[in-house]
Structure 1
């Protein structure tokens, strides 16, 4: 039993009041007050397109009810509270995706009964979100790689479990408001299939079964918007075409397409030299969003980008340099708006602090939330490195103005003087040598000042003025279980690392490139003054080999280093 009012109790109460002629205002759980959702909860069906438009922007309650451990705290997040959902609504989100993994809460065949306590907990969280005036997207999540992927070899068993799972979920939410949307399966794939054709056939069957079973339960489920995914939730053309065929075959006006987007892979994880959100990464994004727009949105089928972010965030949000990640999210938000795609930010707990109810990176949230409504200017960089020795030189930053203009440059509450401290010529902002000398004089290594460039529209762009000297690395000994290279960063920041064998060829993981994966093969430890080479890196380094490393820093400095591996022992020397 849920401690708060359930949907069926609300419906029965409303009916009783109508019979007695006492009906008053309908609660938030049964009707959305916002005019963006006409007819929701009123008996007038809201179209799938209207519902998806009203869901923008959305947020994922990730790594919580989808955790594969015994409960929702298994992956390190606190238990969900209504206050968390209220805080998300207050941050400007109109919808929340609630991923749920059901496997560990199900009994055996043939019933595959879902634990009533778990089902009640899921519906409680859904109910809270609805009462907080959020649209909700509920799904079957990590079951995709726990048992659904076995469908090629166990078709009947998987279909039986999938059917039983959705029969129970659909029955539990049968009369929930139409602001609750259901999603068939998260990022499906199939092991041991014969290839693309069979994959498409199996996913078509799952999506079709999902629609049939939910619709057959009646109530609001008869017309509720239902969300269907591509294979892997991929926006690739072949996968999009397959889903388009499924949606056409099912012929239900209340269907929604969904894909996920985590960016151009080398940039998304910072490998193969993909340190910047460059023209290639931008084109990858525009191509993906164009494909789903042309296949679905332009043909009347709304699209939800059910997850978006950067894959490197799974290790650390510092995997991608701050200014580059801000440019990525700014561009994504603006282009999604242009293509009428609803976006749901993936957050596994690394963005919104669910205990303090604050953003861990306010600048990132500022950039993302602004992109929902307006284009903001960005800079070619947010770092200006000023040598600690010698006379500073003027520094120029190219601006992507997005149709706006610079209105001011500030250092804290002090406004810099145009023409004296800085100049703006077209899309180029130049800080004078005197300004940089003044801001870095007698300062320690590191960030000496943060300048805020304000524009006539959108959010400002911060420039970090960094006093530095070339980094200094020292000799070391370690093991293949992990080796720390002592490093005096002296204000500089590590961008990437190359690894090649002295006798030729690329060393370490991803041997198709000399540039290794940030945070996976190597990671800077600024507080401890080390660069760590991981066991994963040495796992793919030949025994008895000499490896030449080149460390690339954001200032433009490079440092070479030599590694010798002898069994489990590693020796590192400068040069």
Structure 2
């Protein structure tokens, strides 16, 4: 090698290192602000093999994420099924290419993308035996993606079940060091053990207190009986207070330790009581913004579904995630009054900025459309109630409020729904004539009518699904509901004089 070529090669090496070391300069604190509202592309790259649990990743997902208004997308990835089990633990080229393809779809749309190690069962079952393997996995990831945009973040490990506290702390420090060899200024996200709740995060040692590109994450599905199992309802003052206190404590810890926080999983499954579920998402988003958390709701194309992938559409959760804040409409309530639907709410915006308020409604088969409009808004005329005299008989009606502002922004509230209990025949019977007891109930519900013959009893859950049918010829009956989950149910009695409906709560 000539001296001239030596200096040329040396210059190329130095220049490459300079570019690599300066291309990602966004600090974690700056990143937290830019990340804002996000969503997971769950059950996609983290099953044993792509397509096992949900439709495979498609590029149009990222168009939809972008168009919806999300700023960050967490892309869980599983590596152990695609990595050799002996040294040097090489990751399969096709899998690495596939992950890079998906990452590039997001980066090309200026989204912040977070990839991680997710559902790594081999790691969880044998930390000591697998530590070197995962250090190699992370070294390969760090090298492969080192020249990517600063909008790509690395999350060290998702929910390391079965790992001891000192082990995850050792692993966090080791992996951070490996990443920093090749990505000295890329944002890295870490957390604690098990299901990485807020308390477990705050108990975990920070892997490097001097690293300005370090971020912490936690998950929130409390209470699991509601959010994860669909039992009961949510939204009492105690429920809200518990959520607020938990997220407030994380913010306090974040400030004290100068570590920004990413709430990268939360949600309530679709089997939950609908109104409770919408309110749960709304309050979680509101408090996340209040307490300076960026967030990514869990979306898995299954129990926590938000993006309807095959239909290329969204369900009601999307707008809750995108529009909710501490100034959006809250405290929606709905009830039947003389067979009409009475809707009430609280406005928290400055009345001087509101030009009009829209009342929107949809059914199970239609989209939201405007059914009423309030104009010429002032502090004295801000509406807080509406009576719908045209609700569909014997079906669910969904409502939401939309505040339109002087800058032409339109901010919808979270939705709420009600089953119209108006009798389904011309022979209208007052519901009070059907006695349902005890209410709430644990195991057996009693139904009694004075002199009206019952032909059948149907019981529907809060999602409108038929869960029990009893045929009879009597004016009273007892029905065992011990096997029903906790929640709100509707009894529809077909009688010789028409249909009756009452609700009850299963404890």
**TM-score, normalization by structure 2:** 0.72
Equivalent of residue 207 in structure 1, options 168, 172, 191: 172
Taking the TM superposition and a 5 Å limit, the aligned residue runs for 1:225-374 are 225-237=187-199, 239-243=200-204, 245-247=205-207, 251-269=210-228, 274-310=232-268, 313=269, 317=270, 319-349=271-301, 350-359=305-314, 361=315, 363-371=316-324
Equivalent residue of 1:334, what SS?
A: helix
- 3-state SS of paired residue (1:203): helix
- Aligned-partner Cα distance in 2 for 1:293–1:379: 25
Structure 2 counterpart of 1:163, from 135, 146, 157: 135
CA contact (8 A) 1:61 1:348 kept: yes
- 134-143 or 405-414: bigger deviation: 405-414
Q: Distance between the aligned counterparts of 1:410 and 1:102, measured in 2?
A: 46
Per the TM alignment, residue 499 of structure 1 is displaced from its structure 2 partner at its CA by 4.2
Are the structure 2 counterparts of residues 464 and 76 from structure 1 closer, same or farther at C-alpha, using a change threshold of 3 Å? closer
Match of 1:553 in 2: 489
The CA distance in 2 between the partners of 1:530 and 1:115, in whole Å, is: 47
Three-state SS of the structure 2 residue aligned to 1:246 is coil
Other-structure match for 2:43: 63
- Matched residues in 2 for 1:279 and 1:40: separation? 51
1:124 to 101, 123, 129: 101
- CA offset at residue 95 of structure 1? 1.7
Distance 1:427 1:211 in 2: 53
Q: Distance in 2 between matches of 1:376 and 1:524?
A: 26
Partner Cα distance (2:372, 2:340) in 1: 18
| Equivalence map 1:1-20=2 (5 Å) | none
Task: In structure 1, list runs of 5 or more residues that go unmatched.
Answer: 1-14, 20-38, 192-198, 387-391, 419-423, 472-495, 503-521, 533-545, 562-575
| Alpha-carbon distance in 1 for matches of 2:168, 2:253 | 18
Aligned residues of 2:221 and 2:266 also touching (Cα < 8 A): yes
**Any unmatched runs of 5+ in structure 2?**
1-11, 362-368, 406-410, 425-438, 446-459, 470-479, 492-500
Residue in structure 1 matching 2:421, options 448, 468, 486: 468
Structure 1 residue 86: Cα displacement: 2.5
What's the secondary structure of 2:420's corresponding residue?
A: strand
The residue that corresponds to 1:565 in the other structure is none
Separation in structure 1 between the aligned mates of residue 109 and residue 344 of structure 2, nearest angstrom: 43
Cα distance in 2, alignment partners of residues 168 and 259 from structure 1: 26
Write the distance in 2 (CA, Å) between the matches of 1:403 and 1:395.
Answer: 25
Q: In the TM superposition, what is the alpha-carbon distance from 1:224 to its structure 2 partner?
A: 1.2
* Contact 1:549 1:560 (8 Å CA) reproduced: no
Match of 2:34 among 39, 54, 76: 54
Q: For 1:173 and 1:329, how far apart are their aligned partners in 2?
A: 34
Are the equivalent residues in 1 in contact too, given 2:461–2:489 (CA < 8 A)?
Answer: no
CA drift of 1:409 comes to 4.3
Tell me what 2:395 maps to.
446
Partner SS for 1:557: strand
Q: Secondary structure at the match of 2:115?
A: strand
- Distance in 2, Cα, partners of 1:525 & 1:46: 44
Q: Which residue of 1 aligns with 2:124?
A: 149
Describe the superposition over 1:510-533 as per-residue Cα deviations: whole angstroms up to 9, x where unpaired.
xxxxxxxxxxxx978956x4439x
Q: Could you tell me which residue of structure 2 aligns to residue 402 of structure 1?
A: 348
Structure 1 residues 451 and 48, CA, compared in 2 at 3 Å: closer, same or farther?
closer
1:67 Cα deviation (Å)?
1.2
Distance 1:427 1:40 in 2: 56
CA contact (8 A) 2:462 2:488 kept: no
Choose the corresponding residue for 1:190, options 148, 151, 162.
162
Q: Match of 1:296, SS?
A: helix
Q: CA deviation at 1:252?
A: 2.0
1:89–1:132 contact (8 Å) kept in structure 2: yes
Cα distance in 2 for partners of 1:86, 1:75 equals 22
| Greater percentage in strand | 2
Q: How far apart, CA to CA, are the structure 2 residues paired with 1:121 and 1:549?
A: 45
Deviation, 1:469, is 6.2
CA distance in 1, matches of 2:51, 2:393: 42
Q: How far did 1:326 drift?
A: 2.0
| The one of 150, 163, 174 aligned to 1:178 | 150
C-alpha distance in structure 1 between counterparts of 2:230 and 2:273, whole Å: 13
Shift of 1:370: 0.6
Q: How many angstroms does 1:377 deviate by?
A: 0.9
User: Is contact 2:24-2:185 (8 Å) kept?
Assistant: no
Deviation track 1:458-506 (CA, whole Å, cap 9, x = no partner) reads: 31465656432699xxxxxxxxxxxxxxxxxxxxxxxx9954499xxxx
Distance 2:179 2:402 in 1: 51
| Match runs of 1:492-507 below 5 Å | 499-500=442-443
TM-score by length of 1: 0.64
Deviations 1:431-479 (A, max 9, x none): 3xxx64xx25xx64224x65554445631465656432699xxxxxxxx
In the alignment, which of 531, 540, 554 is matched to residue 468 of structure 2? 531
CA spacing shift, 1:329–1:402, aligned 2, 3 Å: farther
The corresponding residue for 1:73 is 51
> In the TM superposition, what are the counterparts of 1:481-500 in structure 2 within 5 Å?
499-500=442-443
| Structure 1 counterpart of 2:114 | 137
The structure-2 alpha-carbon separation of the partners of 1:345 and 1:326, relative to structure 1 and needing over 3 Å to count, comes to same
C-alpha displacement of 1:280? 2.4
Distance in 1 (CA, whole Å) between partners of 2:64 and 2:178 is 34
1:374–1:116 CA distance, 2 compared to 1 (3 A): same
Pairwise CA RMSD of aligned residues?
Answer: 3.9
Question: 1:417 and 1:123 mapped to 2: Cα distance?
Answer: 50
Measure the CA separation in 2 of the matches of 1:106 and 1:444.
58
